[in-house]
Amino acid sequence: MIARVIVTPKPVVNDPQGITVKQGLATLGFSEVSDVRVGKYIEMRLEAGSEHEARERVEAMCKQLLANHVIEDYRFDIETDGHKRR
């Protein structure tokens, strides 16, 4: 199975990288961009007996290591046998 995790700063958290990217895009002429949030993309292959077990394990990984629940939100997809599920 493949888990794809996306971690982003919570909306109320200042995002200096996002601000820098937004300013850079404006400088390059992309003035239509009103907000940028910079996060992390994590892809991992894992062994699990079922999709349910994989979801539980990935949820635990996110809570314990991959995301700082105080300042970050996360979401993930699990792909089993070529089928992507949220």
Q: Does residue 16 have a pLDDT over 70?
A: yes
pLDDT digits (tens, 9 = 90+) for 25-78: 999 999 999 999 999 999 999 999 999 999 999 999 999 999 999 999 999 999
pLDDT for the residue numbered 34: 96
Q: Are 9 and 84 in contact (CB under 8 A)?
A: no
Half-sphere exposure of 77 (CA within 13 A, CB side): 11
What number does CATH give the domain 2-85? 3.30.1280.10
pTM: 0.84
Domains of the chain, residue spans:
2-85
